[in-house]
Structure 1
Amino acid sequence: MKVLLVEDDQFHATFLQDALSEALPEVTEIIHAADGAVGEEEARQSGLEAIVMDLQMERRNGIEAARTIWSERPQTRILFWSNYADEAYVRGIARIVPDDSAYGYVLKTASRDRLKLALRAVLLEGQIMVDREIHRLQKGGASPRNRLDDSEFAVLVDLALGLQDKLIAERRGMSLRTVQNRLLSLYEKLGVYSEMDESVTLNKRVRTLNRALATRTINIETLEAAQRDLDTWLAGRR
């Protein structure tokens, strides 16, 4: 059994190699890729279908690399390993994982035993396994009332890209009134209204982006991927 390890930090890569050797004696070779772009090419050339993937990497992040790999080989088993339990990452994975694919999401703060369990469960046994904190985000957190639905999240991303309401409506196939209602909902759910002070005038759209970044509802990787999607959409629109 061959495993591809995609991790740009050498210390973490060495730690993972040791954990893999302990958890999976079936592994005959571990191939290390230092970023997502190299990982895509290694997976393509070697036909590897067992991958441990860091999420935050400089040249190409794990979400983008996994999307490419799954588009070519949807049966690939991927265990994501990250410092962050961002809602943005959870949504990103949910959008790209193929039906019935085995995947996992474990935090780098997890114990070594927990990591080894996840490695075996996902890469060998083909199970789906996520950390409790990540599972909580997938279920919408402790307060369903404050959970963003998919249409609200889409409007939030377009807002972060600088689109005005009319262009968001066109892109998302919504009416202008629907977009404006989604914005009002975002102000409420992200706590913008609760921050308002009658003595100070704040820009609600900017405060919404501030709150989304502070709560890691969106992150830089989400915006980079969204910008590429927007560029494609604008090119087709012309």
Structure 2
Amino acid sequence: MIRVLLVDDQHLVRMGLRMLCESAPDVEVVGEAADGRDAPRLVAELQPDVILMDLRMPGVDGITATGRIMAARPASRIVVLTTFGDDDHLYPALAAGAFGFLVKDAPPQDLLAAIRRAAAGEQPFSQDVLGRLVERAVGAHDARRAPAGPGLPELTGRERQVLAMVGAGLSNGEIAARLHLGVTTVKTHVANLMRKTGCPNRIRLAVLAVRSGLSAE
């Protein structure tokens, strides 16, 4: 059973998320927080597998709460729920330790899939959110330094294919289906890419893929 903590200041949103989670036989909501101030305490008490975190809340916001949770419990898997108005908060949330990002109006099956992916150790990202994160990261990088950064390290042809698909926002399962590989094999390729490139997460890998001009076509 996947234990989930909900953190959102809107009662109706939390109620909807709870109903959705409880419709799944393998997901259980173990607690709720109406603001970011209570979230670290509840994480310590309840030890959820996945935390669904709103970004914009009164008092202590989701970015601050994420940073406090990660400082106390670095293995926490926090999936941020975003809207199109949250773009300025996406990269700070990633820097604070967010494990994944999902748009609030995502289809119910996508949200449940994201919870399962996070619980299994795979960072879930809505493709449009990934695109916006990558665009901001690439833009910030270009603004800071005009010269091109170092090129890709030596990668196998398969690793370059996987990296390009990570840059396009595909999940491990989608990459596996497209390349006719096992999901475990794709996970191994992603882990190798992180090791070879020094990228700590999928967002950094995606930024590298975009800056390197790799295409998933």
TM-score, normalised to structure 2, is: 0.59
Instruction: Tell me, yes or no, if structure 1 residue 128 matches structure 2 residue 120.
Output: no
**Aligned partner of residue 4 in structure 1, secondary structure:** strand
CA offset at residue 28 of structure 1?
Answer: 4.5
**Aligned partner of residue 105 in structure 1, secondary structure:** strand
Cα distance in structure 1, aligned partners of 2:112 and 2:85? 19
Note the 1:34-73 alignment, pairs <5 A: 34-73=34-73
**Aligned partner of residue 128 in structure 1, secondary structure:** coil
Partner of 1:104: 100
Instruction: Tell me, yes or no, if structure 1 residue 139 matches structure 2 residue 163.
Output: no
Cα distance in structure 1, aligned partners of 2:142 and 2:33? 33
**Is the CA contact 1:5–1:33 (under 8 Å) kept in the aligned structure 2?**
yes
Go from structure 1 to structure 2 and tell me whether the alpha carbon gap of 1:29 and 1:112 turns closer, same or farther (over 3 Å shift).
closer
CA offset at residue 29 of structure 1?
Answer: 4.6
Go from structure 1 to structure 2 and tell me whether the alpha carbon gap of 1:93 and 1:28 turns closer, same or farther (over 3 Å shift).
closer
Q: How many aligned residue pairs are there?
A: 143
Partner of 1:9: 10
Go from structure 1 to structure 2 and tell me whether the alpha carbon gap of 1:28 and 1:106 turns closer, same or farther (over 3 Å shift).
closer
Note the 1:143-154 alignment, pairs <5 A: 147-149=139-141, 152=144
Go from structure 1 to structure 2 and tell me whether the alpha carbon gap of 1:139 and 1:51 turns closer, same or farther (over 3 Å shift).
same
**Aligned partner of residue 127 in structure 1, secondary structure:** coil
Partner AA of 1:21 in structure 2: E
CA offset at residue 88 of structure 1?
Answer: 2.0
Cα distance in structure 2, aligned partners of 1:78 and 1:37? 15
Cα distance in structure 1, aligned partners of 2:131 and 2:96? 19
TM-score, normalised to structure 1, is: 0.54
Note the 1:81-92 alignment, pairs <5 A: 81-84=81-84, 86-92=86-92
Cα distance in structure 2, aligned partners of 1:150 and 1:45? 43
**Is the CA contact 1:85–1:134 (under 8 Å) kept in the aligned structure 2?**
no
Q: Percent identity?
A: 25
CA offset at residue 118 of structure 1?
Answer: 1.1
CA offset at residue 2 of structure 1?
Answer: 2.9
CA offset at residue 112 of structure 1?
Answer: 1.4
Note the 1:82-231 alignment, pairs <5 A: 82-84=82-84, 86-97=86-97, 103-122=99-118, 124-140=119-135, 147-149=139-141, 152=144
- Cα RMSD, aligned residues only: 2.4
Cα distance in structure 1, aligned partners of 2:20 and 2:132? 26
Bigger radius of gyration: 1
